[in-house]
Amino acid sequence: MSEIQMPRLSDTMEEGVISTWVKNVGDKVASGDVLVEIETDKAVMEYEAYEDGYLVKQSVSEGDTVPIGAVIGVIADSPDAVPEDSGDGGEEKHAAPPKEEQAEKAEDLKEAAEGTEAEAGKPAEPAGAPAPSGDDEAPRPRTSPLARRLAREYGLDITKIRGSGPKGRIVRADIEAAREGGAAQETPHTVEAKEEAKPAAEKAVTAPSFDDGRDSEELKVSNVRKVIARRLTESKQTVPHFYLRRTIDAEALKAFRAQINEQLSSTGVKVSFNDLIVKACATTLKLHPAVNTSWVDDKLLQHGRVNVGVAVAVDAGLVVPVLHDTDKATLSEISTRTRELAGKARDGKLKPQEMSGGTFSVSNLGMFGVDSFSAVINPPEAAILAVGAMRQEPVVVDGEVAVRNRISLELSVDHRAVDGAVGAAFLKDLAEILEEPMRIIL
């Protein structure tokens, strides 16, 4: 009998959502069969069985959010096998709690027992007696280690959260409730004091007593969207961005693409401008290895491989599949692989290895008519290139005004890993390669 644990399906995954159970209790399972579809922080992925047997238990239901390592099901040699913890009361529908939660429960029980003994020796307080007052500093709130860690991760002030555990102790449930409800978990005195301190106009905005005319409806937020929000917030808060902008002449690039696609017409492969830019970035990264780096835990990592990520918009948000060894791939290979990965991204079928290992990213919004924009770095990469739409603009060429096709590029750079002059040199060479596109394949 083997337990199925929530796997880590991406490098940033901390928990997963059971999207769909493909196998039901009692079904025969062969190694390689898809057991369950799991929604991670990046996509919905298939989780396969590693052994033959029968699925005898689903520990969690579809839609449940489960931390990495928690038990989600059990496989046994016989369909009649009964998991040890299932008892006679039917199938258990919750994942086994992680060790941290088990330790927290044990600590809660211990404190409850200690509190009971202590309270037994105290004289009874009259009902409704006011809390003792004094000028002594307020004691630090009683918390569990898990609660303190979660509070730090969520950016919550634990001193303003009301505990529901023994003797007012703050436990995980309180932290989760505070994350969802914000100030609603603060003590009544704190809330009252804050409300009194707010200007009347602010009170009206935060808690309107009238119809605000927006007819708002709360939408269900996917796990992918939640993680996108968290990671982008972390990126802007922790990564010191600086931005470099340059507009290139795209006349030669346009002609080069037409020539390449004419040569590939019999193969069914069609190279896009983005494919050319991705390949040009890989070529330029080989010339400027200082940009092909990452700043991680006060250490600078130099990457020996060039793996360019391509941002793809999907219904759930934005995912960045990675083209490994982009510098070694041909244009037709980049075109084919990009379309394959984009399709899998939209279907939620990307594998973990297809979304990890990126050393640089390209985000192109030109197809939406966006002239230029500033992209947020995808940690731990050191840079990302934002590509705008191709536009016809009047420019001076050899002393005369001419209409030329031009593209705006903007490089967002992590200043911890890359200095301004290094980033500028990279963007300069990238622009020159794109303006002399034969260098892309040489």
CA-to-CA distance for 153 and 437, rounded, in angstroms?
46
> What residues pair up with 57 in beta bridges, in sequence order?
74
3-state secondary structure of 330: coil
How many CB atoms are closer than 10 A to CB 120? 7
In one letter, which amino acid is 365?
L
Of the candidates 172, 166, 169, the one whose C-alpha atom is nearest the C-alpha of residue 147 is 172
Of the candidates 271, 248, 241, the one whose C-alpha atom is nearest the C-alpha of residue 409 is 248
Radius of gyration, CA atoms only, the chain: 28
CA-to-CA distance for 250 and 431, rounded, in angstroms?
10
Q: Are 417 and 293 in contact (CB under 8 A)?
A: yes
In one letter, which amino acid is 382?
A
Query: Two tokens at 390?
Result: 């191709």
The 8 Å CB, 24+ separation contacts for 424-428 are 424/244, 425/288, 426/284, 426/285, 426/287, 426/288, 426/291, 426/383, 427/244, 427/246, 428/246
CA-to-CA distance for 304 and 297, rounded, in angstroms?
19
Please list the active-site residues. Answer: 415
CA-to-CA distance for 90 and 92, rounded, in angstroms?
6
Of how many residues is the chain composed? 442
The gap between the terminal CA atoms of the chain, to the nearest Å, is: 57
The H-assigned helical ranges of 273-411 are: 273-287, 331-347
Q: Are strands 44-48 and 34-39 parallel, antiparallel or unpaired?
A: antiparallel
